[in-house]
Chain A
């Protein structure tokens, strides 16, 4: 299938910075993939997200090398507005993402801008609010919400648009565990129902591994591991050396394997972990 995201040797250094925030990134993502991105602080994850939405190099300026195409658009020659029709984003810095004062208006804003048909708008707003369980916040002033509630509003606004490519940059950081799971369920739903491509930068590795099919591990501007979640988890020592918090159960799997007590792949769900423990104890 034709890739929806194609980065060919993309390098980027911020204006005035000495090092490279992205260093020769090659990446091909087909439509409908659910990709997790992980890596230590400063690895270039946010810069990668920005490169997909055109924020880099149009808004965050610097030297951009290589070629990046998203949905057939070259990110350097297309404007951010053009790209925004395809790529939806929720970024790390939640406070500066709101452009209106009220929850309902925040969700309406982009729907109006993208000329969603009038008769679809009410149901889309309702659905987004209900999906994230924030229907009761509808008429609240955003400045009076808690951090987690604000994140839900930002996510609802992004999900209401149902973009073909959705990029979340640590957008569940302030959510409680149940809400984080709910968000990942919604992402999966968007992927299945609409064939959307989902790219999630996330520190909660276990959650990421339970939902993503493919994992990118970044370090110093490079994609150092790119493969199925299982393949990435088979190298817990390498992940730890990179400063990535590896799930304990994966580390346990590696140790059991070393001792010849377990022969399967590293578990990515509770059921698989249970099966592993049973095998080891047998």
Chain B
């Protein structure tokens, strides 16, 4: 099973869509969430991502992102809520803190915006090959290949880092490092876990850059990409959806 941020092969209309259209659609859903003032539109965009994700057969990715980004959003919600002073107080708290109606609304919207920005990106990466993304960034947006490659390599390295982290943790546990324990004990564990992780990461990236160089990375020209990416009629509905979402987000 490919990881959360990895491409998941399939043959849906979004898999076949133009990479830039997919990027645009994801961006519009993210940005739309921040433009709109209406909680309902935020909710609708979030629902669109969730339903869309399941429809694309990527329910696993949706659930994992909701769990990951969702807990972060919940944390932000709880931490910020008592500090908003505007609005009608619903529940007074000690130390001059309070929960207000505007606070609830504001914090809920922030959470939904963050969640609404994460999901479309995860789904976009799920239906788009990184190489297609790189190639279109270069061929259609005129971004130099080097930069496009760095962007997509960074995305590629996120899951690699997680695997590496798991390996380091396993190796250290095997050597008798206790991973359960008090908070203080855990803090002391950070160096033995992070130092090898950092070292192996730097090494890995260096070796990776070398591998690219040995295979002609610096000889690449703008027109070197083999695949071509023509816009097709099938991309029209997705483009129309982009425009629609943007308009709704602006007027609400």
In the complex, identify which listed stretch (A37-45, A109-117, A126-134, A193-201) lies at the interface while the others stay far away: A109-117
* Minimal beta-carbon separation of B228 from chain A (angstroms): 9
**Cα A164 to Cα B218 with chains together (Å):** 19
Decide: A55 near B129, CB < 8 A? Known: A115-B219, A115-B224: no
Decide if B7 touches A144 in the complex (CB within 8 Å).
Answer: no
Decide if B131 touches A101 in the complex (CB within 8 Å).
Answer: yes
Decide if A84 touches B213 in the complex (CB within 8 Å).
Answer: yes
Main secondary structure on chain A at its contact with chain B? helix
Complex contacts, A84 vs chain B, CB 8 Å: 213-216, 219
Closest residue of chain B to A105 (Cβ to Cβ) is B131
Interface residue? A67 (CB, 8 A) = no
* Minimal beta-carbon separation of A20 from chain B (angstroms): 22
Interface residue? A223 (CB, 8 A) = no
Interface residues in A95-135 (C-beta closer than 8 Å to B)? 95-102, 105, 108-115, 118, 121
Other-chain residue from B159, B218, B226 in contact with A81 (beta carbon distance below 8 A): B218
Decide if A157 touches B215 in the complex (CB within 8 Å).
Answer: yes
Decide if B220 touches A99 in the complex (CB within 8 Å).
Answer: no
* Minimal beta-carbon separation of B141 from chain A (angstroms): 18
* Minimal beta-carbon separation of A135 from chain B (angstroms): 15
**Cα A113 to Cα B159 with chains together (Å):** 26
Decide if A96 touches B6 in the complex (CB within 8 Å).
Answer: no
* Minimal beta-carbon separation of B48 from chain A (angstroms): 27
Interface residue? B9 (CB, 8 A) = yes
Closest residue of chain A to B212 (Cβ to Cβ) is A99
Interface residue? B146 (CB, 8 A) = no
Interface residue? A59 (CB, 8 A) = yes
Main secondary structure on chain B at its contact with chain A? helix
Decide if A98 touches B211 in the complex (CB within 8 Å).
Answer: yes
Interface residue? B62 (CB, 8 A) = no
Complex contacts, A2 vs chain B, CB 8 Å: none
Mask of B201-233 contacts with A, CB within 8 angstroms, 1/0: 001100110111111111111001110000000
Q: Which has the most chain B C-beta neighbours within 10 Å: A55, A96, A98, A144? A: A96
Other-chain residue from A55, A95, A118 in contact with B214 (beta carbon distance below 8 A): A55
Closest residue of chain A to B8 (Cβ to Cβ) is A141
Other-chain residue from A55, A108, A113, A139 in contact with B219 (beta carbon distance below 8 A): A113
Decide if B226 touches A96 in the complex (CB within 8 Å).
Answer: no
Interface residue? A89 (CB, 8 A) = yes
**Cα A113 to Cα B156 with chains together (Å):** 20
Decide: A101 near B6, CB < 8 A? Known: A96-B204, A113-B215: yes
Interface residue? B117 (CB, 8 A) = no
**Cα A115 to Cα B9 with chains together (Å):** 27
Decide if B220 touches A139 in the complex (CB within 8 Å).
Answer: no
A/B interface sample: 28 pairs, CB < 8 A: A53-B214, A55-B210, A59-B210, A59-B213, A81-B216, A81-B219, A84-B214, A84-B216, A89-B214, A96-B204, A96-B208, A98-B208, A99-B153, A100-B130, A101-B130, A102-B131, A105-B129, A108-B131, A109-B131, A110-B216, A112-B220, A115-B221, A118-B226, A139-B9, A141-B7, A143-B163, A144-B2, A157-B215
The 6 closest A-B pairs by CB, nearest first: A113-B216, A96-B207, A110-B215, A105-B131, A81-B218, A141-B2
